[in-house]
């Protein structure tokens, strides 16, 4: 049976864990060749071993997405290893433990969060776009968040602002590059059962306080975000660009008032 990504080459950042790991495994299963990128080289090598054990084809690459040189090298690695780049998933991100309200958040925490969550997406696009153009077009998926649409119930001003930047960047690039057949969409996950969030919701009381706001009554799973990314990466979404692709268990439907 043919996979939905047969013949495509994808680069996925933050592939050592969470959404990036699950997406790497799914994309390989669907026929893509994948450059799996993470700053934690041991973690991303483990992801690649799992993908290869299931019959997939992937390579592990260490990069700091806040570094222009690293981002340039990771894109070059995709073309060197597999000859082209068709899908760019700028997924790497952090949620800093000291991120709080505007008065309490330090400049250092703000800068680090912006460097990874916002500048990292910009740099991925900066160096990915020429490669996608050389391939005749492709899909860029940028991980944003539901908090960029509605604000966070728990103060995390740098994280929320960084994800808002991802939405704005995605919309502009979608317009600029539409005629080049390069699509840009922002994946906006709701609260997920991933290490990134669960380390903050570290008691049952905190979990229940968040769950009460989610209409489905549960946290999302990283594997569900991978399925959304698969749609955006595949030709099934060929007329989809510039969107806020929300996968959030209904939380924004419950709380965001349409403008």
Active site residues: 159
User: CB atoms < 10 A from the CB of 32, how many?
Assistant: 28
CA proximity to 186, closest of 93, 75, 74: 93
Chain-centroid distance, C-alpha 219: 18
**CA dist 256 → 30, 152, 182, 195, 252 (Å):** 35, 12, 30, 26, 5
What gap in Å lies between CA 227 and CA 206, rounded to an integer? 28
**CA dist 47 → 15, 18, 40, 198, 255 (Å):** 7, 10, 11, 21, 36
């Amino acid at each position: 049976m043919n996979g939905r990504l047969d013949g495509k080459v994808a680069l996925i950042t933050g592939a050592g864990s969470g959404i990036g790991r699950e997406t790497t495994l799914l994309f390989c299963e669907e026929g893509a060749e994948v450059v799996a990128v993470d700053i934690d080289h041991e973690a991303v090598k483990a992801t690649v071993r799992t993908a290869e054990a299931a019959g997939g084809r992937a390579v592990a690459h260490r990069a700091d997405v806040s570094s222009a040189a690293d981002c340039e090298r990771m894109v070059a690695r995709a073309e060197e290893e597999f000859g082209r780049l068709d899908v760019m998933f700028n997924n790497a991100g952090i949620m800093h433990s000291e991120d709080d309200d505007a008065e309490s958040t330090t400049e250092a925490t703000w800068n680090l969060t912006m460097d990874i969550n916002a500048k990292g997406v910009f740099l991925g696009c900066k160096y990915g776009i020429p490669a996608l153009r050389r391939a005749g077009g492709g899909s860029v998926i940028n991980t944003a968040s539901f908090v960029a649409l509605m604000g966070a119930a728990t103060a995390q001003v740098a994280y929320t602002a960084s994800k808002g930047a991802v939405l704005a960047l995605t919309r502009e690039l979608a317009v600029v590059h539409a005629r080049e057949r390069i699509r840009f969409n922002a994946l906006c996950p709701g609260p997920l059962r991933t290490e990134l969030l669960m380390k903050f919701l570290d008691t049952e009381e905190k979990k229940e306080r968040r769950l009460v706001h989610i209409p489905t009554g549960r946290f999302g799973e990283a594997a569900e975000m991978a399925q959304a990314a698969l749609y955006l990466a595949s030709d099934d979404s060929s007329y989809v660009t510039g969107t806020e692709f929300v996968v959030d268990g209904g939380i924004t439907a419950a709380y965001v008032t349409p403008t």
